Chain A
């Protein structure tokens, strides 16, 4: 008798477990990650001469590599007003990540690494007087040259590290949220 009682109890609980939780056919909600940087845009303006460099990665951390485009070449010896934009185009409407960087400017810094293309100077400051890099000026080399420009966005860098405020990435630490490489021609 007791044995049957136990069996019954076991049966009841198993059935309860199964029926109470039996498959709900609801699909989980679709998540469009808002923090993904699909697009990095660097704009160089000199009067009416506007050159844009874009790295567009349609699937974020997915397998597809970014598509890098540079709209034209820069002119030797000229000085350009530069701006940086970081956008998430995988969501609608697009997410302007630049605004977040601007709001948290003390936690972000953009670095420009190149060899002989010219000189980058930060023209913006965070609340501590350190550079951010969303705006900058670029003076192109006096002689024609081609090379790679690497633009890196670092989250939580040590902005007080040696040379970091001057654009030296080596002592910045932090984590790289974006790192894109553009082929640049100075004519």
Chain B
């Protein structure tokens, strides 16, 4: 139908004897707008067009060369040029017209991301996780593990670090969803994402200067600039949990540049089951909505985004314990203390989480000078945690926090100026946290206001496609103003009465109202380099210096953490942690074999961590106290992957990650570090058989042998006698190996569908119904992980 056409105007065509020439040109769309980031391949070298659509290839030897122009969403264009003189080419790329397939327009990648080996998860892989969470999906990437609380609360761990150290950026806005808590999963619906990227470092300073672990970038579907309407519905049914998810999305594009897209999704699962028993009260539900609409063309754009994430998550009933005796009983007993028949009902303890995000984005391109981007976002996050309570507070949440965040940022990306490109911007954030006093529980995180201001500048240097350089600097100011009540006894026991008398506003009977105020100044810097000597090899070197402020939980935590029977205490005197990270990546990609290997080293000064320190006694019995402390720490590791294409049908993929974490001051291993793990998958693909794809995957986690010994001895009541008992909270569970199977086929031909596509998927997780526990699951003391799960997935594209 629509064909791609080319206007090649060799301006001067002659025969010259110089050995090397220059090819320059401009790439536009149908409307004569310059197209940025078009991938241009000449022999074995790669080039990109700049913001105005211009490109320039130097040192081209005389002779005939194949030139390939490629941009997602547009038809690939392929041509042979005969070079005997400098050539100027004007290319027009045609939009890809395909009613069946969704058209992806590549998220414009800045050079900052070109000088670090970023990993991404595409929409097809994300679809397999439709009924799961972001944290589950990210484990597809080597070096990314999951910190779990049960099976529904999953946080990504990048190179051993998580929570505040791994900001999640959704459509350019930093997600402010109380990410500080290890039991708070990112409030994101995977169904509204079309592409997820993980940057294992801080080398994207435009998003913040405190990503000690790495950054997760999530982008929504981008509509093509053409008259089109397409959609997708995805139904996932799980045998384990006896439920599933349903997601529908519609995308509408107009050739004028207007567009909208929307996604609605829901999830409903009952109690999950381990191989031997029901995991009582582990059901969960989600109701999510996403809308984006506006106008984008080559020069101007303005659009709004709204998303709602709403989840109700059951917490394993057996993990609610009263005191240390209960914990010891749970550790020593094989089965959870509470097992009931399967139910869809959610009882206490549970979490109810809601996140609203509204965004306004705009940009304007000043022809060749550059592009100005503006963004404003408002986020409202409410988290309710329901505990098992007595009497009139039975149905009142024990925690009810409202977190509101306004953020605005503006940045300017310059066009290419010789070999240089610049990008700089400013950002500001205003945040308020308000605990609901009606819980009648002293809030874990106090009332506070935070104001941030940041400014950054990044420069890219690209002398040739073989060599790219990226240098960035950033400054951040943060002001925190909190109001918190402390028990007078705690205030004095911590020595705060002497250290921070200026924080005290008023003293009551047994509590003291304080007003801790902090100002933090942070500088961060990053350096990235990409060396691309041949089309099949890439080498990256990255270095970054990052500074992160203590988060509210590290500063202010002050109370009993029920599910692990410990008192967790923040520290008002914490300082910023500063990390120096180096990484190298070597990457090879050819038709039949590809591999990559990334060693890294992260030295963290003042690393904040929670460590045990003694016992406290009350009318509930004894509780261990855990304090936030700071110590210089080191994490190094290697992430690696390899892929073999044995035949056009048969592929094999291997990934592995090893990590070593050490608290240098105390000379002990760091807690909660992922053990050595590897995964192998073999897949068979045959286009002729209804596009059949089958994958058998094995994932193996070895036993973590490096862990800090935090075991302690407490006097516990055993048969009426107080007996000194060792409480083993440190020893990691044994390693495990799981097998998964996944198959899918395009059944549209069977139904004679032409304009739509029907894909049927079938998967089995944990094929052998293996019983295991995961070191990185907070509920490993209480119950096994989930058992076998059969999944049926129906997808219709229209």
Contact = CB atoms under 8 A, between A and B. Distances in A.
Interface of A: 2-3, 6-7, 9-10, 13-14, 17-18, 21, 23, 27-35, 37-40, 55, 57-66, 90, 97, 100-101, 103-104, 113-115, 147-150, 152, 154-156, 158, 173-181
Nearest to A37: B619
Contacts of B506: 27
Interface string B493-510: 100000000000110101
Interface of B: 320-323, 325-326, 337-338, 362, 364, 366, 372, 374, 376, 388-391, 393, 406, 408, 410, 428, 430, 432, 435, 437, 439-443, 446-447, 449, 451, 481, 483, 485, 487-490, 493, 505-506, 508, 510-511, 513, 559-560, 567, 616-621, 623, 717, 719-722
Given A62-B487, A115-B721, A175-B320, A6 B364 contact: yes
Given A14-B408, A60-B619, A176-B325, 17 more contacts: A2-B366, A28-B446, A30-B513, A33-B441, A40-B619, A57-B619, A59-B487, A61-B620, A63-B489, A65-B616, A97-B391, A115-B719, A150-B717, A155-B322, A176-B326, A179-B323, A179-B620
Contacts of A29: 437
Given A6-B364, A179-B325, A179-B619, A31 B481 contact: no
Contacts of A149: 720
Contacts of A63: 487, 489-490, 493, 616
A2 B322 contact: no
Interface centre among B406, B439, B567 (most CB of A within 10 A): B406
Contacts of A179: 322-323, 325, 619-621, 717
B321 A114 contact: no
Given A10-B410, A114-B720, A21 B432 contact: yes
A11 B493 CA distance: 46
A97 B390 contact: yes
Given A17-B430, A176-B322, A62 B489 contact: yes
A103 B390 CA distance: 10
Contacts of B720: 113-115, 147-150
A175 B410 contact: no
B493 to A, nearest CB: 4
A17 B510 contact: no
A174 B337 CA distance: 8
Nearest to A99: B391
Please provide the 5 A-B residue pairs with the shortest distance between their CB atoms, ordered closest to farther. Answer: A176-B322, A175-B322, A100-B391, A179-B621, A113-B720
A122 B439 CA distance: 35
A35 B390 contact: yes
A10 B412 CA distance: 13
A178 B619 contact: yes
Contacts of B408: 10, 13-14, 17
A27 B432 contact: no
B17 to A, nearest CB: 48
Contact of B391 (A39, A59, A103, A174): A103
A179 B327 CA distance: 14
Nearest to A21: B430
Contact of B390 (A17, A104, A176): A104
Contacts of A59: 487-490, 510
B312 to A, nearest CB: 21
A55 B618 CA distance: 9
A97 B620 CA distance: 14
A27 B362 CA distance: 38
6 contacts: A9-B374, A13-B408, A60-B618, A61-B567, A173-B337, A179-B620
Interface centre among B430, B559, B720, B722 (most CB of A within 10 A): B720
A104 B392 CA distance: 11
B435 A61 contact: no
Nearest to B378: A17
Given A21-B430, A35-B390, A30 B322 contact: no
Contact of A18 (B430, B487, B559): B430
A173 B493 CA distance: 33
A37 B619 CA distance: 7
Interface centre among B321, B437, B617, B722 (most CB of A within 10 A): B617
Contacts of B406: 17, 21
Contacts of B388: 155-156, 175
B619 A13 contact: no
B719 A34 contact: no
A34 B393 contact: yes
B393 A35 contact: yes
Given A17-B406, A100-B391, A115-B721, A55 B490 contact: no
A177 B505 contact: no
Contacts of A156: 388
A6 B323 contact: no
B381 to A, nearest CB: 16
A62 B623 CA distance: 11
A104 to B, nearest CB: 7
Nearest to B317: A156
Nearest to B437: A29
A183 B170 CA distance: 60
Contacts of A176: 321-323, 325-326, 620-621
Given A14-B428, A181-B717, A30 B485 contact: yes
Interface centre among A33, A62, A64 (most CB of B within 10 A): A62
Contacts of B488: 59
Nearest to B337: A173
B483 A10 contact: no
B415 to A, nearest CB: 15
Given A23-B481, A55-B619, A57-B619, A35 B440 contact: yes
A178 B323 CA distance: 8
Nearest to B338: A173
Interface centre among B338, B435, B481, B621 (most CB of A within 10 A): B621
